[in-house]
Amino acid sequence: MLKLIWAEFLKYRRTFLPWIHLILPVGIAVLVAVFGLVTPAYSWEGVTSGYFQVLGIAFPLVIAIICGKAAELEAKANRFQTVLANGQRKRLYLIKLISLIMLEIIAVCLAIAVFALLYPAKTGYFAFYIYAGVFLVSSTAFLYLCHLMVAFLFGNGATIGLGIFEVLVSALLLTGFGDGIWQFLPCAWPARLMVTLFDMWQHPDQNPIFAQQILLWSEIAFSATLLGLFLSLIWFDRWQGRSDGE
């Protein structure tokens, strides 16, 4: 398994995929941290909350770009023949999914660590960073499943278009429009979880309400992700390729 994951990473070596997982999180973290340091008019709470909301909103589009490129690499290999001729397609799909999520974990750790170091938190927020990282990764697994399928079926344009639409929906659902429904819309999960998690630290007296929201999300997300993975494996095992090979 490890050799197959390493082989998948080698495919990405000459693409922008490794760099987008390094430069993008570090760059955004540095920009926001510097902004917070040079503009004391904004509180630590305001800057930090805004930073994690931006991360959450951006995830659908970034994932769309990444999945689009991952599928494009297979398309260039004789119009998916490397995939279609493989007798263990389910395993191949899992390897691709795991490798992308591993890269995401690295990116999330960088985004949080760089920001926390440059823009020090008040006491008692170390656990918040840990939870934020866990929630960001766990809330995006379904998005990877969705965008990988769209990228293989319809190509780069479709998955990026979907990602742009999801970003707009995610931003909209940060307002009152999202109250009570965001748990049912995967594109809203990362951003709304960051808001809810930060509110738990800011307003501990209301933690039972926030905990109930997160519990509902976890039940829906766990079920949806497992079902999505199961259906994706069945689909990929029977997929016959794309006629245009784009």
3-state secondary structure of 185: coil
pLDDT band with cut points at 50, 70 and 90 for residue 244: low
Q: Residue ranges of the domains in the chain?
A: 1-238
- CA torsion 207→210→213→214, rounded to 10°? -80
Q: Which of 36-45, 76-85, 132-141, 210-219 has the lowest mean pLDDT?
A: 76-85
pTM of the shown model? 0.92
Q: Kindly report, residue by residue over 39-81, the tens digit of the pLDDT.
A: 988 888 899 999 999 999 999 999 999 999 999 988 886 677 7
pLDDT band with cut points at 50, 70 and 90 for residue 82: confident
Q: What is the mean pLDDT of residues 182-198?
A: 96
* Lookup: tokens for 133: 């990282």
Which value, in Å, is the radius of gyration of the alpha carbons in the chain? 19
3-state secondary structure of 169: helix
Residue pair 179/195 in contact (Cβ under 8 Å)? The answer is no
Query: How far apart are alpha carbons 178 and 167 in whole angstroms?
Result: 14
